[in-house]
Amino acid sequence: MAGRNTDWERELRAAGEAPDAELDIASLALALAACDRPQLSLAPYRAHLDEIVAAAREALDENAAMPCAVVAGVLAGVLSGRFHYLGDAETYDDPRNADLAHVIDRRKGLPVTLGILYLHVASKLGLDLAGLNFPGHFVLRLRAGGEAVVIDPFNGGQALSSADLLALLRGVEGPEAKLTPEACEAVGARDILLRLENNILSRAIRAGDYGRAREVVTRMIWLAPQRAGLRFELGRLEVHAGHMGAAADAFETCKDLAADIGEMRIAGMAEEALRRLRTRLN
């Protein structure tokens, strides 16, 4: 068991050192799932991913040179129609919705987990599909033939208009929210995987399960070792656990990383956290 856990850690740490363009998003999402269930065999899940890709390839070959909206419809037809993947609106906060293996078993999940399936298929078929930096509800943008369509993986791959996106945004941020270019910027595989894990992290913190939260942040650091904010979060969680030496190490690393990349606000937060920690220890 421990050996297999080490395998997943090794894969995630290697991803942390690799360029974003080289990351296999679905494989890494399965590795994250396996961290919680080291006895889990991923072979059936990888075979299922291959099955989805093969079905999508066949459907697209039958509709060659189709417009962007039709490509989006074909993807939705394969994922939500043939394979029955839909958002879990009834038990949205079920932690299984942020675990790709459970999502494959149950055929339902969060927007970001379902989006990873769409992105996996697109990457294997050479489609220009990207996740967007949209707050609160993960969406995708497909580009083809000089056109673009925004897709909602949670709602059966439904195409979203600008009005739909604004309504979604206001549902998250309130009636005065405005749709900004930043919300529609593409994000890479690493940020999407961190967003996936952040769903688990936020639920663990809300439940007061700081041990679980510490495990999740550690995995996030494996994936993104240069993200200073993750080190700060780890320091806070180590304080909760009473691991003051580990907390000091995390804040110190956070301060150095943040200073190196010019994130002086986070560097200052880490320096203040260190000062308070040393006061408590003296």
Spatial separation of the C-alpha atoms in residues 11 and 251, rounded to whole Å: 25
Instruction: Decide: 153 and 63 in contact? Cβ < 8 Å.
Output: no
Domain ranges of the chain: 2-187, 226-281
Closest by alpha carbon to 101, among 171, 149, 151, 35?
A: 35
Q: What is the pLDDT of residues 254-279, one digit of tens each?
A: 999 999 999 999 999 999 999 998 88
Of 61-65, 130-134, 140-144, least confident by mean pLDDT is 61-65
Beta strands in 53-103 (DSSP E): 86-87
Q: What is the pLDDT of residues 201-235, one digit of tens each?
A: 999 999 999 999 999 999 999 999 999 999 999 99
Give the per-residue pLDDT at 62.
67
Three-state SS letters, 148-193 = EEEEEHHHCCEEECHHHHHHHHHHHHCCCCCCCHHHHCEECHHHHH
Coil, helix or strand for 86?
strand
Spatial separation of the C-alpha atoms in residues 95 and 206, rounded to whole Å: 13
Q: Is 12 exposed, middle or buried (0-12, 13-18, 19+ CB in 10 A)?
A: buried
Instruction: Decide: 119 and 191 in contact? Cβ < 8 Å.
Output: no
pTM exceeds 0.85: yes
Spatial separation of the C-alpha atoms in residues 204 and 212, rounded to whole Å: 6
Please tell me which residue, 3 or 98, carries the higher pLDDT value: 98
pLDDT surpasses 80 at 63? no
- As separate numbers, helices (DSSP H) first and strands (DSSP E) second, the chain gives 12, 7
Give the per-residue pLDDT at 32.
96
Share of the chain above pLDDT 90, in %: 88
φ/ψ region of 229 (left if φ > 0, alpha if ψ in -120 to 50, else beta) reads: alpha
